[in-house]
A = this chain, B = another copy of it.
Amino acid sequence: MSILVVGSMAFDDIETPFGKAERIVGGAGTYIAYATSYFGVETRQVAVVGGDFPKEVLADYEKRNIKIEGVQIKEDEKSFFWSGRYHTNMNSRDTLVTELNVLEHFDPIIPDSYQGADYVMLGNLTPTVQRQVIERLNDRPKLIAMDTMNFWMDIMLDELLKTISMVDVLIINDEEARQLTEEYSLVRAARKILSMGPRFLVIKKGEHGALLFEGDKVFFAPALPLEEVFDPTGAGDTFAGGFMGYIARTDDTSFDNMKRAVIYGSAMASFCVEKFGTERLVNLTAKEVRDRVFKFEQLISVDLKLSEA
């Protein structure tokens, strides 16, 4: 199976209560692709980077069956740069610097070799760019998922709503779901969002887990309770990558399988936060992923004996 991923590939400066990391490789597309690559699928990366982006990262991508023909390299320009500082409880952060650089005029070219992708994951980007990607596909994929953020709700809501209406799965966090719908209750927010077009909705609640909705069905998966969250950067993107990577590997878009996909996404995200940036994701074994999912199984499994109740 193949999954087309579009998203930023960038540099980040990150400051958490545990330390500081400078000019490390980040970006939604990077985290998503690292996560999908653990599911034995072919990842087809669409992105744009500057001449400053490390060639060895792209070489490492290829070893992971992440195709880079759709990664444009603007040799004379600079990669997207983001800098942020987390507060003590890690639940909120301040953005210190955002330099769009190559992303400012990003034209998401889809190479011919990427056509016919089975699945598509649209990482957080300008909604118009996300829509261009959909429009440039010759065939409708089996499932298109998208992430977004409050920023686009603030400055181009109409464009965002148009893009949302074209996808099968929307993956956003609780605050974004509330802002998008002006509903505090996530149950009500979900109902409104499902009427905007997507058949499925995933609401990420960070350390409080994630909810999956389809019609009147709802599934909840917790986040793994951790001793320490070292750096939450990219956790949401890694969740999305794990979620879609699992769906692509199993080639099954049923609600029951999506429930499993939410757990796999949560498992991948639980690794992401253990070290700075992508460090933990880059050095991960299939066995570690399996063992982590088994931890989730232990965390949530209960026999309610309802027949005896």
Q: Chain B residues near A256 (CB, 8 Å)?
A: 302-303
Q: Chain B residues near A219 (CB, 8 Å)?
A: 299-300, 302
With beta carbons under 8 angstroms apart, the residue of B187, B208, B228, B304 that contacts A260 is B304
With beta carbons under 8 angstroms apart, the residue of B263, B293, B304 that contacts A297 is B304
Please tell me if the beta carbons of B228 and A185 are within 8 angstroms of each other in the complex.
yes
Please tell me if the beta carbons of A225 and B187 are within 8 angstroms of each other in the complex.
yes
Please tell me if the beta carbons of B225 and A186 are within 8 angstroms of each other in the complex.
yes
Q: Chain B residues near A197 (CB, 8 Å)?
A: none
Tell yes or no: A57 within 8 A of B by CB: no
With beta carbons under 8 angstroms apart, the residue of B228, B229, B293 that contacts A304 is B293
Please tell me if the beta carbons of B211 and A220 are within 8 angstroms of each other in the complex.
no
Please tell me if the beta carbons of B297 and A300 are within 8 angstroms of each other in the complex.
no
Copies in the complex: 2
CA distance A305 to B309 in the complex (A): 26
**Chain B residue at smallest Cβ distance from A304:** B297
> Which interface residue of A220, A260, A296, A303 has the most chain B CB atoms within 10 A?
A220
Please tell me if the beta carbons of B227 and A185 are within 8 angstroms of each other in the complex.
yes
**Chain B residue at smallest Cβ distance from A222:** B220
CA distance A248 to B256 in the complex (A): 34
Given A259-B302, A297-B306, A309-B293, A211 and B225 contact (CB-CB distance below 8 Å):
yes
Given A184-B89, A227-B188, A260 and B305 contact (CB-CB distance below 8 Å):
yes
Given A209-B222, A222-B209, A309-B293, A302 and B227 contact (CB-CB distance below 8 Å):
no
CB proximity to B under 8 Å, residues A271-309: 290, 293-294, 296-300, 302-306, 309
Tell yes or no: A68 within 8 A of B by CB: no
CA distance A228 to B186 in the complex (A): 9
Q: Chain B residues near A225 (CB, 8 Å)?
A: 185-187, 211, 218, 220
**Chain B residue at smallest Cβ distance from A183:** B227
Within the complex, the shortest CB–CB distance from A66 to chain B, in Å, comes to 22
Tell yes or no: A155 within 8 A of B by CB: no
CA distance A288 to B108 in the complex (A): 53
Give per-residue flags for A186-229: 1 if the beta carbon is below 8 A from chain B beta carbons, else 0.
11100000000000000001001101000001111110011111
CA distance A208 to B305 in the complex (A): 24
**Chain B residue at smallest Cβ distance from A228:** B185
Given A208-B205, A225-B211, A263 and B304 contact (CB-CB distance below 8 Å):
yes
Q: Chain B residues near A205 (CB, 8 Å)?
A: 208
Within the complex, the shortest CB–CB distance from A89 to chain B, in Å, comes to 6
Given A187-B227, A226-B185, A263-B304, A220 and B297 contact (CB-CB distance below 8 Å):
no
Q: A218-B225, A297-B304 are in contact. List 8 more A-B contacts (CB 8 A).
A: A88-B184, A185-B226, A185-B227, A185-B229, A220-B222, A220-B299, A260-B302, A293-B309
Among all A-B residue pairs, the 9 with the closest Cβ atoms: A208-B208, A220-B222, A259-B302, A187-B225, A187-B227, A220-B299, A297-B304, A185-B227, A290-B309
